[in-house]
Amino acid sequence: MIGAVDFATWGGHLAADALAPDRGSIDVLVPFSVIVPLVAAAVSVIAARNRIAQRVIGLGALLAVLVANVVLLVRVDDMAEGIAVSQAGGWAAPLGISLVVDRLAAIMLVVSSLMLVSVLVFAIGQQAEERRFAAFHPVYLVLAAGVSASFITGDLFNLFVAFEMMLVASYVLLTLGGRPGQVRSGMSYVVISLIASTFFITALALVYSATGTVNMAELSERIPQLPSGVQTGFSLLLIIVFGIKAGLFPLFFWLPDSYPTAPNAVTAIFAGLLTKVGVYAIIRTQLLLFPDDARQGTLLLVVAALTMITGVLGAIAQDDLQRILSFHIISHIGYMIFGLALFTLAGIAGAIFYIVHHIVVKTALFLVAGMIERKAGSDRLSRIGGMVRSAPMIAVLFAFPALSIVGIPPFSGFVAKFALVDAGISVEQWPIVAVALAVSLLTMYVMGRIWAGAFWGTCEDAAVSDRLRPGQTRVPLLMTLSTAVVVAASIALVVFAGPMYDLAERAAVDLLVPQNYVQQVLGATK
Amino acid sequence: MSVLLAFLAAALFGTGTFLLLQRRLSRIIIGIGLIGHGSNVLLLTSGGGRGLPPIIDSADPTDFSDPLPQALALTSIVITFGVTAFLFALGYRSWKITHDDIVEDDVEDRYIARRVVVDQMVAEGEAAAREIELDEDRG
Amino acid sequence: MFVLLALHLVVGTAAIASGRQLGRWAFALAASAPAATLIWLLTQAGDVVDGSPAVARFEWVDQLGLALDLVLDGFALLMVSIVSGIGLLICVYAIAYFAPHDPAGDDTETEAHHPRAVGRLAGMMTLFAGAMLGIVLSDHLIALFVFWELTSITSYLLIGNDDTNPRARAAALQAILITGMGGLALLAGLIIIGQAGGTYRITELVADPPTGSIVNAGLICVLVGAFTKSAQAPFSSWLPGAMVAPTPVSAYLHSATMVKAGVYLVARFAPLFAIAGSWRVLVLTVGSATMLIGGLRALRQTDLKLLLAYGTVSQLGFMMLLLGTGLDHIALAGVVLLLAHAAFKATLFMIVGIIDHETGTRDVRRLHGFGPRWRVTQFCAVIAAASMAGVPLLFGFISKELALEGYLEHGDVTGAAVVLIVIVAASVLTFAYSARFVLGMFGVLAAPDADPTDIALTRDAHAPGWLFLAPAASLTALTLAFGLVPQSLDQFVDAALGALHPSAETVHLHLWNGFTGAFVLSSIVILGGVLLTVFRRPVAAAQRSGAAALRFVPTADRSFNALLRWTGVTARRVTATVQNGSLPIYVSVIVLVATVVPLIAFVGDFDGFPQLVESPVHVALVGAMVGAALAASIVRRRIAGALMLGAVGYLMAGLYVTQGAPDLALTQFAIETLSTVLFVLVLRHLPSSWSHRAPAIAAPMRVGVSLAVGATIFVFALVASGARDNVAGPQQSEVMIDSSLPKGKGHNVVNVILVDFRGWDTLGEITVLLVAAAGAVSLARTGRRRGDGGPTLEELLDELEPATDVDGAVDRELDDLDVEVPR
Amino acid sequence: MSTQAPTSGPQRLVILDQSIKVLYQSILVLSLYFLFAGHNLPGGGFVGGLTAGAAVSLRYVSGGAMAVRTAFRLPSHIVLGLGLLVSAGTALIPVVLGGAVLEHGDREVGLPIFGDVKFVSALAFDIGVYLVVVGLVLMAFAAFGDDLGPIESTAPPEPPDGTGREAS
């Protein structure tokens, strides 16, 4: 009975009570990660002329969200049912919008809020776009809210709205500064995203037309009643719609053209979070909404392989650091889809672990790329070099996430890759395992090129090499610190790989048994 | 959903797509507007056939048109409007910089494409060199 | 044991961090780790030899079966003594090697001799030593793999330590790519074997080795990993390349330890799996080929260090042949060879380092014989080379005898006869290149028409100091001692062999086995070697002409470079095709995928048309809208297009009215007005009609895509609405209509939904508006005033120019490549 | 239409000016009506806000950017921010009080007249929506309407050199 009336009896509770171990009050924390950044964004807009106030508000809100999310994760994981449900407006499920945090969502919330805080600190340290544009803080907060809203929503249409919050914020952040490259790539990014959104609306219209509901729990019950072709069609349509945001082959074109043009900090958060929201949506909808025979295992495996290969080849072809890393995101999205496409416990757990690892590590790499650009004044590998001598700290900060993303043991990427390969071999999906391993070799080549290009060798570009003398250009302390925090998080993923993987596996168990989700969301009304 | 309205949606999507496949941002925006209308037609008709405005006590609730798709369509219209407004701003900015609203091909991608031409040249050059070397061997 | 690994980590990190201050003395710090390991080893040795190995365990990711299990058994004991013993000596040696000296005068200025580079080297070598310990101590396949990859990484960083040298960078890349490739195959193989066996623990696998065709495939993967790591043909090209690293690194990683990791792994697996599938065939073929090719190429080298490198390749092939068969007699020879090789090869490398350090060259054509104070050095070199060549009374002889004996004994194994011939032939080569090393050092091979400064270079070279020579000398002492009194090693070798082959007989090593078949073969080897040395000129000529004939056969090295370039070319070609940078092409691919792919699924469930027309008003509305939409897509003037879009919008509002959606109609009407005004506001700046720029996609193609999309949407709409009958349960909105007044307190259901039931959506929606507005203003205002932080137009144009000058940039590159590109 | 968009000028008809002012004010009144009637009749925050926006656009067409700026004293970003603050605030406050996010009504404070307070709370949300929409329109005009910047030349735009594009 999570109806509106129930909440009446809890009147007067303070948010602090949420820390108490009682079932209802933990649900209060569910919308926290969306609503707090939104209120903060509103205040931040009003305080547009005062950058200090904006910083305090932004950091304060995101830190509060981080704390709340950690509490949420711990409590949700403690619960037997492993799920916290809050009905927006207090209206029971089919009437209102259900906000649901299961283990997967909780994991995503914690990781994303940690990244959001770190990158914001980095952006403040950078003293660049953050300082120049009053719009930065409110828009960044909306991005945070949109990402969280995508994770917690239990309503397909609301997922569209959450996506739009996130995307519109990303459009603005991407083009902050309005440089020619940004405008050009911004136009294609916005256009492609708008097309994706229109197709999402189309998919929603078709789904509502066929089932009469957009509540995911209800859809989970109703979609299996549809004719099999329609089920498959919906499944494909949603994969494609989310695949555009996730950067799947052959829908990823917008990504490598647009990400590198954004300000560094923005690229870092995009790289870490945005595509993963797409992957999250694919995982969520495939597992929750569709019965076994409508899931697209084989197709996804093929797509995963092609995504891995084209992504890494793209990375090899580039010279610009940001573009290399951007192509590289695509390649790694393929790994996550590989895990999902197996539709086994081990595969999904591996995919979840991979997502967490990739968010942290990729953010770290882009932050380091930002530091490189600040230090060297360029991010073209052909123009920079020798930074292992001029900036050993940056070299160290780069080395850890780079080794991790290649999958060198014992770093987190290894555990993630191991989990996936292990899962793939146990169901004897040889081709995809072979592709995954081969791509991982090419990844090593890519990272080796970056290392050899940026850190080793000498710098032939006179203008750049002047800057590369030790102490010539100082990288602000806050940038280094925030990057170090993210790198430390990636190392923590190694040390706590055991508990973290256990958690991912529990989340995967939840996902494979959607009945629990459905019951928790709709239970009150039945 | 009648065949006619399905056709309308199809026509809007078709014309919109035609406009999307061009270089001018202004045409692309018109195209997005058209397919946006098309998706709203689908959304509106997803609740079933036509009915009376869903205002309680104005008529028998069973005669109402489905209110939920209307709310959803309204949300989607407003969101699309907001995003399109931002796209206008990009077009405006583009005009300020280049005095045009062409969406140019990506510079870096063109660069890679040119590199491929170079690769081919180099490969041909090498093949020719090897040919000469073999000839010398024979001769 | 974890303490030891952690000690290596800490010491290594400390050495890197304090490199700038410590310089070459960082090696003294680094030496503490292997020293501690050796002390610990002494305390454990008794127990291990008695058959009670030390164990340690650390849980990592339980669910995946990942754990760090360490076991110090007899074989590990032997390997650890090599790793730490040589490690300690190398550290001592390196302190002297990196001492500043003065023949060339300027090498302290180079990056390679900069204190921080030396400190980094010391630290990395310690980290490597830790990883190597991990490999040989691991009792868990994945733990072994973890350390395996760590050795690859540290090797990469060590080879490339002199990062200003492009050759070093290239060699480092080649090394890591080849071993990395093998590493990935190894990973797959280990997982396959682990899954088949139900455990990753080696001791448990030994008890119950899995079988089956999948296991055989896994074993091939494992072998690929081992072959790459141990530089077996055709993966051996990286090892000679790795010789650009400073000599201590070559001596330690690339002869004594890391390259033996593959051999170690094969040795561990062979007793379990040698009889399975194609294991033995593969090992024997690859080992034989490697041993021969390595020997042949070693004989051609003029660089002493490269000679040793190819010699190492050859010896690694030899070890494969001995340890990969899974037969205890032959394995015994392998175990002894592991020790003997570590002793003599490290000595020789150290001596090359000394020569290089004191004369500045390693080229036999420039070495003209050293002065009298070099006697001790030369003695050590001769002893070590003789041991390598298999001269009696030395340690190397014992292992070679055992090998020949073992193969003679196991003549019934398939291919044993061939292998025996290969071993004999390759040993002849070994003798010859060992002799070449010695002759080169004594100046016999010097170029006759040398310039006098070169002669002075060697003749007057400083003799190495005692610290420099001591490590090589002590290893020489061991070579002599173990050659003369091999019995002293009985227990040690017995424990090592026992760990691999529990059923093996007790080991008794002898200096002299009598006039056996093996001794006859040994004599042939020595005789052949002497002949090859005596007739070295004709042999060299023959080799040259052979090499010329094989000019067009790709070598491993050339194949690798070709592959690397091919990868780059392919990557660019694929990327240029997939990522062509053109928005219209992107959009067409995306819309086609988004429509056609689901269409295939939907079309099957199409079951007839619903009613044709709901109301006559629709006919008029739809007609007008389609007309306006068509007009919008073909008019040539921007404003006209915008107005046509507006017309479609107003007609949409009309449609909403007929569908019973007044709120929507009102909203649509207001929004259409606003966006038309906005559109016009923006458009007035732009030229009034479209330019004649060629579109990215031809018109027929565009029409085709549009028709496909339209048709698909048509099918979608009909199929989806037709499917509704299959679903049980009310429309979500029925509840909303019922609850609107009692719960939402409003008569207008749509508004109640918007502000109450689905207020969460609305909140997101207005956020979108807020952000869009903020972004639009930010964008439109940037650069409007000078000094507001944004770039001005002039700045932007400056920036635009080089960015769009792609053709120019490529042309500059073409100038470098000397190729002409037609425009 | 674009070229005719008037910015200023003495030739503008006074009568037109006055009638637009009247029209503007009456449309504003209409927009408020939409806002308040929305819960029971067609209308609501969006429609209301957009109607107000249409009024502003009328004002812009007649009087240019300056007219828009004087019509609304508050800077547009404050209108926007306040709008979101009001709406998000009505969402957050129930959470702080221990209820569900966006929960409307008086149950937290226990006022006697149940229905009326519910009505007020939902209206507050709708007012936020209204403000955001108005703010958006104001900002849009601020963004596109005002062209008097230093980098703007009055001469017809010429394609800048060196951008490597063909003349259109």
Using one digit for the tens of pLDDT, what is the confidence trace for A205-221? 999 999 989 999 999 99
Structure tokens at B56: 């309680």
Task: Report pLDDT digits (tens) over C322-360.
Answer: 999 888 889 999 999 999 999 999 999 999 999 988 888
Work out the pLDDT band at C687, boundaries 50, 70, 90: low
CB contact under 8 A, A183 and B97: yes
Work out the pLDDT band at C221, boundaries 50, 70, 90: very high
User: Quick check: C805 pLDDT over 70?
Assistant: no
B17 reaches A (C-beta below 8 A):
no
The residues pairing with C66 across neighbouring beta strands, listed in sequence order, are C61
Q: Which of A95, A139, A187, A200 to mutate to test the interface with C (most CBs of C within 10 A)?
A: A95
Distance from CA of D37 to the nearest CA of C (A): 9
Residues 6+ apart with CB under 8 A from C323: C263, C266, C267, C270, C330, C331, C334, C335, C338
User: With 0-12 CB in 10 A as exposed, 13-18 as middle and 19+ as buried, what is C44?
Assistant: middle
Whether residues B28 and B12 share a domain: the answer is yes
Neighboring chain D residues of B55 at a CB cutoff of 8 Å: 40-42
Tell me C257's DSSP state: S
> What is the structure's pLDDT at B138?
60
CB contact under 8 A, D150 and C680: no
User: Rounded to 5 degrees, what are φ and ψ at B56?
Assistant: -60, 140
If contacts are CB pairs under 8 Å, which of residues 309-338 in chain C contact chain A? none
> What is the structure's pLDDT at C707?
93
> What is the structure's pLDDT at D112?
44
> What is the structure's pLDDT at A363?
95
Task: Report pLDDT digits (tens) over C561-586.
Answer: 888 889 988 998 888 888 888 888 89
- Searching chain D, which residue's CA lies closest to the CA of residue B57? D40
Neighboring chain C residues of B33 at a CB cutoff of 8 Å: 645, 648-649, 675
CB contact under 8 A, C790 and A132: yes
Work out the pLDDT band at C58, boundaries 50, 70, 90: confident
The pLDDT of B48-64, averaged and rounded, is 80
Q: How many CB pairs under 8 A join A and D?
A: 98
Name the one residue in this structure whose structure tokens are 């101590």. Answer: C137
> What is the structure's pLDDT at C810?
52
> What is the structure's pLDDT at C689?
58
The pLDDT of B1-25, averaged and rounded, is 89
CB contact under 8 A, C648 and B12: yes
Return d(Cα C422, Cα C283) in angstroms, integer. Answer: 14
Lowest-pLDDT range of A464-473, B54-63, C665-674, D135-144: A464-473
Helix, coil or strand: residue C461? coil
CB contact under 8 A, D41 and B99: no
Helix, coil or strand: residue A84? strand
Number of domains observed in the structure of chain B: 2
> Chains near B, with 3+ CB pairs < 8 A?
A, C, D
Work out the pLDDT band at C102, boundaries 50, 70, 90: low
Structure tokens at C483: 């050659």
CB contact under 8 A, B13 and C713: yes
Amino acid at C264: Y
More confident of the two residues A2 and A452: A452
Whether residues B123 and B89 share a domain: the answer is no
CB contact under 8 A, C583 and A209: no
Whether residues B7 and B62 share a domain: the answer is yes
Work out the pLDDT band at C283, boundaries 50, 70, 90: very high
Q: Which of C683, C777, C805, C807 to mutate to test the interface with D (most CBs of D within 10 A)?
A: C777
Task: Report pLDDT digits (tens) over A87-140.
Answer: 887 788 788 899 999 999 999 999 999 999 999 999 999 888 888 888 899 999
Whether residues B19 and B59 share a domain: the answer is yes
- Searching chain D, which residue's CA lies closest to the CA of residue A99? D101
Which of B76, B83, B103 minimises the CB distance to A187? B103
Indicate the helix (H) or strand (E) that contains C129.
helix C115-137
> What is the structure's pLDDT at C230?
92
More confident of the two residues C541 and A383: C541
CB contact under 8 A, B1 and A194: no
User: Quick check: A277 pLDDT over 90?
Assistant: yes
Which of A168, A316, A437 minimises the CB distance to C567? A316
Whether residues B131 and B65 share a domain: the answer is no
> Chains near C, with 3+ CB pairs < 8 A?
A, B, D
> What is the structure's pLDDT at A113?
95
Q: pLDDT 10s digit of each residue in chain D, 168 long?
A: 344 444 444 455 667 777 777 888 888 888 888 888 777 787 788 888 888 887 887 777 766 666 666 666 777 888 889 999 998 888 888 777 777 777 765 444 444 443 444 456 778 888 899 999 988 888 877 777 655 333 333 333 333 333 333 333
CB contact under 8 A, A46 and D77: yes
Work out the pLDDT band at C801, boundaries 50, 70, 90: very low
> What is the structure's pLDDT at C809?
52
Return d(Cα C424, Cα B53) in angstroms, integer. Answer: 99
Neighboring chain D residues of C766 at a CB cutoff of 8 Å: 83-84, 87, 128-129, 132-133
Share of chain C above pLDDT 70, in %: 92
> What is the structure's pLDDT at B40?
92
The pLDDT of A397-409, averaged and rounded, is 92
User: Quick check: C676 pLDDT over 60?
Assistant: yes
D136 reaches B (C-beta below 8 A):
yes
User: Quick check: B100 pLDDT over 90?
Assistant: no
User: Quick check: C797 pLDDT over 50?
Assistant: no
Domain assignments of chain D as residue spans, ordered by start? 14-144
Whether residues B23 and B50 share a domain: the answer is yes
Whether residues B16 and B41 share a domain: the answer is yes
Neighboring chain C residues of A498 at a CB cutoff of 8 Å: 59-63, 66
D160 reaches B (C-beta below 8 A):
yes
A237-249: b (≥16 Cβ within 10 Å) or e: bbbbbbbbbbbbb
Q: How many CB pairs under 8 A join A and B?
A: 110
Whether residues B111 and B83 share a domain: the answer is no
Neighboring chain A residues of B86 at a CB cutoff of 8 Å: 168, 171-172, 190
Return d(Cα B29, Cα B31) in angstroms, integer. Answer: 5
CB contact under 8 A, D103 and A45: no
Neighboring chain B residues of C661 at a CB cutoff of 8 Å: 44, 53, 65, 70, 73
CB contact under 8 A, A38 and C63: no
Which range of residues forms the domain containing residue B131? Answer: 105-139
Which residue, among C644, D136, C761, has the nearest Cα to A201 in the 3D structure? C761
Q: Specify whether the CB–CB gap between A300 and A243 falls below 8 A.
A: no
What mean pLDDT, rounded, does chain A reach?
88
> Chains near D, with 3+ CB pairs < 8 A?
A, B, C
Q: Give the highest mean pLDDT range of A17-26, A433-442, D81-90.
A: A433-442
- Estimate to the nearest angstrom the gap between the alpha carbon of C267 and the chain centroid: 23
> What is the structure's pLDDT at A351?
95
What mean pLDDT, rounded, does chain C reach?
85
Tell me A86's DSSP state: E
Neighboring chain B residues of D158 at a CB cutoff of 8 Å: 99
> What is the structure's pLDDT at C700?
87
Whether residues B64 and B122 share a domain: the answer is no
> What is the structure's pLDDT at D116?
43
Neighboring chain B residues of D163 at a CB cutoff of 8 Å: 98
E strand spans, chain D: none
Which residue, among D157, D143, D118, D150, has the nearest Cα to D60 in the 3D structure? D143
> What is the structure's pLDDT at D9?
45
CB contact under 8 A, D47 and C801: no
Which of A45, A176, A441 minimises the CB distance to C770? A45
Amino acid at C206: V
Residue B87, domain CATH:
1.10.287
The residues pairing with C68 across neighbouring beta strands, listed in sequence order, are C58
Distance from CA of B11 to the nearest CA of D (A): 28
User: Quick check: A342 pLDDT over 70?
Assistant: yes
Return d(Cα C100, Cα C357) in angstroms, integer. Answer: 10
Distance from CA of C280 to the nearest CA of A (A): 24
Helix, coil or strand: residue C371? coil
Which of C609, C633, C771 minimises the CB distance to B18? C633
Neighboring chain C residues of D80 at a CB cutoff of 8 Å: 770, 773-774
CB contact under 8 A, A187 and C758: no
Whether residues B48 and B111 share a domain: the answer is no
User: Quick check: C251 pLDDT over 80?
Assistant: yes
Return d(Cα A155, Cα A146) in angstroms, integer. Answer: 14
Return d(Cα C501, Cα C322) in angstroms, integer. Answer: 14
CB contact under 8 A, A46 and D81: yes
Structure tokens at C276: 């399975």
User: Rounded to 5 degrees, what are φ and ψ at C217?
Assistant: -60, -40
User: With 0-12 CB in 10 A as exposed, 13-18 as middle and 19+ as buried, what is C360?
Assistant: middle
C417 reaches B (C-beta below 8 A):
no
Which residue, among A461, A500, A230, has the nearest Cα to C66 in the 3D structure? A500
Count of all residues that appear for chain B in the document: 139
CB contact under 8 A, D100 and A87: yes
Whether residues B25 and B93 share a domain: the answer is yes
> What is the structure's pLDDT at C694?
60
The pLDDT of C409-432, averaged and rounded, is 89
CB contact under 8 A, B103 and A191: yes
User: Quick check: C790 pLDDT over 50?
Assistant: no
Distance from CA of C181 to the nearest CA of A (A): 6
Q: Specify whether the CB–CB gap between C318 and C403 falls below 8 A.
A: yes
